[in-house]
Amino acid sequence: MFDVLVYLYETYWRPDACPDHAQLTRKLSAVGFESDEIQEALSWLEGLAEGAASYQGQQGALSLRVYSEAELDHLGEPSVGFISFLESAGVLPPPMREMVIDRGMAIPGAPMDLEDLKIIVLMVFWSRGEEPDALILDELFVAPEDRLIH
């Protein structure tokens, strides 16, 4: 599923640039993705689109997020730490944080792999038509051991 999401991110600037569901399914199949992988990714994206409006304006800038035990178990400490890092850096506002948590909880298996969570963060930005700044893209895609220290 994550390969499909990355392909969509790389191929389409924003969700509204994607073709309709049937045509997109055909295009993804033609590229070589399996049918079940395509359907899982498109279903996940529908959940992202449905949830986007529900998180707007629910939390103020000074609100504190307390994770439930189920969220901590499912997301895992590295993923929760990464979400907190992005939030404290000022690049992941509360509504987007909630979208990331919601979509992370929609992924089967626990604990979630940090690399998968990074793709979810990227897709949340993509779903809102926003491009993360260069430092965030670096954090999302460059392994810490591959970073050059200047």
- Which of the four pLDDT bands, split at 50, 70 and 90, describes residue 73? very high
Among 71, 66, 54, 63, which Cα is nearest to 94's?
63
Q: Which of 8-17, 52-61, 122-131 has the lowest mean pLDDT?
A: 52-61
The pTM of the full predicted model, rounded to 2 decimals, is: 0.82
- Which of the four pLDDT bands, split at 50, 70 and 90, describes residue 53? low
Distances in Å between the Cα of 71 and the Cα atoms of 10, 40, 48, 106, 140 are 29, 21, 17, 11, 21
Mean pLDDT of the region 138-144: 60
| Domain locations in the chain as residue ranges | 2-142
